[in-house]
Amino acid sequence: MTLSATERLKVERDVTAAATEDLLGRVTAYRAGMEPDAVALAREELARRGVGEDALLEHAGGTIIGPDGCALKCSVCHRPAVRRGWGWHWLWGVLPLFPRRLNTCPRHAARLWQR
Ligand SMILES: [Zn+2]
């Protein structure tokens, strides 16, 4: 399926405004859940920003893929998850209520229990 002219314009605006790290996630970890034209636009924007294939491969490394073929998201932010384990569900960020499974990006990996 291809994007209509209106959809394409909307995606172009979104891609232009997106952070480079966000675009890297779209063209690697989350590409299975996106329209091919939207992935192509994101790749073109990355190329305009000077991000090459090496950066794409490095970004995709270690991402955890879910049963639907899409990468799992970090439980804390929108980045692709690279680790899975147990952590606490916190009430208002101050009171640990119960343990739960967490997916984390490298930035939030410290939230998992240490082995
Ligand atoms: Zn994260």
Which tens digit of pLDDT belongs to each residue from 9-62? 999 999 999 999 889 888 888 888 888 899 889 999 999 999 887 777 777 777
Q: What is the mean pLDDT of residues 96-110?
A: 89
| Tokens read off for 10 | 């909307």
Distance 111 CA to ligand 1 centre (A): 10
Distance 13 CA to ligand 1 centre (A): 25
Question: Which residue matches tokens 């090459």?
Answer: 52
CA 26 to CA 13: how far, in whole Å? 15
Helix boundaries (H) for the chain? 5-17, 20-27, 36-48, 53-60
Distance 42 CA to ligand 1 centre (A): 21
Distance 37 CA to ligand 1 centre (A): 27
Which tens digit of pLDDT belongs to each residue from 44-54? 999 999 988 77
Judged against a pLDDT cut of 70, whether residue 1 lies above it is answered with no
Give the pLDDT band (50/70/90) at residue 115.
Answer: very low
Distance 107 CA to ligand 1 centre (A): 6
Question: Which residue matches tokens 């952070």?
Answer: 19
Q: In a 3-state reduction of DSSP, which class is residue 65?
A: strand
Alpha-carbon dihedral angle through residues 57, 72, 12, 7, given to the nearest 10 degrees: 140
Per domain, the residue ranges of the chain are 1-61, 62-115
CA 10 to CA 6: how far, in whole Å? 6
Q: Which residue has the higher pLDDT, 106 or 1?
A: 106
